[in-house]
Amino acid sequence: MGKLFSKLFGNKEMRILMLGLDAAGKTTILYRLKLRDSVATIPTVGFNVETVTYGKLRFNVWDVGGQEKIRPLWRHYYTGTQGLIFVVDSADRDRIEEAQIELHRIANDKEMQDAIILVFANKQDIPDGTYSYFYFSSLGHTQSAKE
C-alpha cells in the first residue's frame, strides 16, 4: 500500500482530516496509527493533531471532536485538507442517517471539493458490528474498497 500512496502523492506531507459522529472511534484510530498500539481515550472536545509517517509519506492528521455542538466548527478545518477519513461506528445502526447527513454536508462543501474521501467502518469486531458494504451503500455510495 505504501507504493500506491507514493505513486499517487510522491514524497510529501499531506493534511488529513478525521471526522465522524461522536464515539465513532476517531481518536482511537489516530493513536493506533501513530503509536501502533491501543490507548485509552476520552471524548475529544476540540481536536488532536499528530504526524503519522507511512513509508516516505507524512500525514498531518487532524482528529476533530464529533459531538453535535462541535460539528458546525468542522468547516474551519477544511482549508488545505487533502484527504478526509470519515469514521462510522459500524455497531451504531441508529445513527447511520445522521452520519450520512454529515458526510454529505462535508463532501458538498467547496473547500472539500478536491479532497480524497475514505469512509472507515469502525468497530466491525464487536457484536452488532455491520459489514462495511452496508454502511458504504447506506451512506449513499455505490462502490466499496472490497469490490
Q: How many residues are given for the chain?
A: 147
26 annotated ligand binder: yes
The answer to whether the annotation marks 128 as part of a ligand binding site is no
Q: Of 67, 82, 100, 113, which residue is the catalytic one? A: 67
Q: Is 66 annotated as a binding residue?
A: yes
Contacts of 124 (CB under 8 A, 6+ apart): 90, 130, 131, 132
Does residue 53 have a known ligand-binding role?
no
On whether 118 is known to bind a ligand per the annotation, the reply is no
Contacts of 99 (CB under 8 A, 6+ apart): 20, 21, 24, 86, 88, 139
Has 94 been labeled as part of a binding site? no
Q: Point out which residues pair with 83 in neighbouring strands.
A: 16, 116
Active site residue 82: no
Residue list for the binding site:
20-27, 44, 66, 122-125
Residue list for the binding site for GTP:
20-27, 66, 122-125
Residue list for the binding site for Mg(2+):
27, 44
Catalytic residues: 67
